[in-house]
């Protein structure tokens, strides 16, 4: 019988210190000026490097420059077909993750199965959610071939995954970074698939952080933190007295792993803060004075105007997850503040454009 999922951990002074660092960096980044064009560029770079580091952890040999030409120009590297397959799959899963985060779709088992299916596909967008493994798999050391970990039996996996998804829904009172760390650990512990578990665990972690307001404009990569010190990553996630799931792994004290995970978030967030400041210093964001006059929501709304000349309150609602009345009121306020101008005054088809004052942020970005 599977063990009921009841994670054990302690919120100690070290964890509190890391959490405060995360909140500090998060708050500073939300108020930093960043033009839409630079934001889009940094996001794309982050996705490329996230793909690189997450697949590198699994042994992928492609470097960032090669990954870029594979994804952008569909070029091929002889002898690296499997690596190319992994790159395309992970990147498409990241794109799907962004869609799910924008829609604020609840995390279900189907969500997880779909992310895994994309990870294992060759960059295809339409996939069928993959079923959990139907047999046992054993994790062995790549060099010694000694057993590193023996996951739960296949018959217990569906129950354990259902418990995990239920726990995610019921964990609103726990700090989101802690929830994400625990879910990463438990998913890796259940090991519901024969392959692709690590990549899917990291995607699920990122999705939880996005839902919790820790998306950080999509500019951070926890994968880089893991990949640059793989030994510490594997040591931290391999807690417990035994390598066997049924002999203490599931009931282990997760505090050491959570400390490692939260510290990684703090380091990653602080790196993003440094990156944005450097972009401004290098003259990539030359509209800082004007940008500073905008609040965080207005800056995010600028992204819509990169794609559309005019927008509706419904688009604003979808961007922030607001109801129709709230988004309409927000647009009304922005018109009064001089941020937006009304193009179509009809109630049903009312459209807005950027005021002349702020349109230069799009033109010059």
What is the chain's mean pLDDT, rounded? 88
* pTM of the predicted model as reported, rounded to 2 decimal places: 0.78
- Helices 109-120 & 81-103, crossing angle to 10 degrees? 150
Q: Which of 255, 232, 251 is closest to 240 using CA atoms?
A: 251
State the Rg of the chain over Cα. Answer: 22
Give me the pLDDT at residue 73, please.
84
Check pLDDT > 90 for residue 275.
Answer: no
Give me the pLDDT at residue 365, please.
52
User: What's the mean pLDDT in 310-339?
Assistant: 91
CB 1 within 8 A of CB 260: no
Measured CA to CA, the distance from residue 115 to residue 92 in angstroms comes to: 9
Query: Domains along the chain?
Result: 13-279 (1.10.3290.10), 288-363 (1.10.10.10)
How confident is the model over 50-107, as pLDDT tens digits?
A: 999 999 998 899 999 999 999 988 888 999 999 999 999 999 999 999 889 888 888 9
How confident is the model over 292-314, as pLDDT tens digits?
A: 778 878 888 888 887 788 999 99
How confident is the model over 193-225, as pLDDT tens digits?
A: 999 999 999 999 999 999 999 988 888 889 989
A 10 A CB-CB count for 237 gives 21
- Residue 20 has, within 13 A of its CA and on its CB side, a CA count of 7
């Amino acid at each position: 019988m599977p063990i009921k999922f009841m994670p054990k951990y302690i919120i100690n002074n070290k964890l509190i210190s890391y959490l405060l660092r995360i909140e500090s960096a998060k708050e500073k980044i939300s108020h930093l000026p960043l033009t839409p064009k630079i934001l889009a560029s940094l996001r794309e770079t982050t996705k490329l490097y996230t793909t690189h580091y997450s697949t590198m952890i699994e042994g992928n040999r492609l470097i960032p420059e090669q990954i870029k030409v594979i994804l952008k120009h569909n070029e091929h590297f002889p002898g690296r077909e499997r690596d190319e397959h992994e790159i395309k799959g992970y990147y498409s899963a990241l794109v799907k993750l962004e869609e799910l985060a924008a829609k604020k779709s609840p995390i279900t088992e189907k969500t997880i199965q779909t992310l895994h299916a994309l990870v294992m596909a060759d960059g295809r967008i339409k996939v069928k959610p993959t079923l959990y493994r139907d047999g046992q798999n054993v994790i062995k050391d790549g060099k010694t071939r000694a057993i590193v970990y023996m996951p739960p039996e296949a018959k217990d996996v569906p129950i354990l995954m259902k418990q995990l998804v239920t726990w995610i829904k019921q964990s609103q009172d726990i700090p989101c970074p802690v929830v994400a760390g625990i879910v990463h650990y438990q998913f890796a512990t259940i090991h519901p698939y024969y392959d692709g578990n690590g990549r899917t665990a990291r995607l699920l972690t990122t999705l939880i952080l996005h839902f919790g307001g820790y998306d950080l404009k999509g500019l951070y990569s926890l994968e880089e933190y893991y990949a640059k010190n793989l030994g510490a990553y594997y040591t931290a996630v391999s807690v417990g007295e035994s390598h066997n799931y049924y002999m203490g792994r599931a009931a282990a004290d997760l505090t050491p792993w959570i400390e490692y995970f939260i510290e990684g978030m703090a380091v990653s967030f602080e790196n993003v803060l440094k990156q944005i400041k450097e972009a401004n210093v290098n003259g990539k964001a030359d509209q800082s004075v004007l940008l500073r006059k905008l609040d965080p929501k207005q800056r995010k709304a600028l992204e819509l105007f990169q794609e559309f000349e005019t927008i509706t309150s419904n688009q604003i609602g979808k961007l922030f997850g607001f109801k129709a009345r709230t988004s309409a009121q927000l647009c009304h306020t922005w018109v009064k503040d001089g941020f937006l101008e009304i193009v179509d005054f009809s109630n049903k088809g009312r459209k807005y454009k950027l005021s002349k004052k702020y349109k230069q942020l799009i033109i010059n970005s």
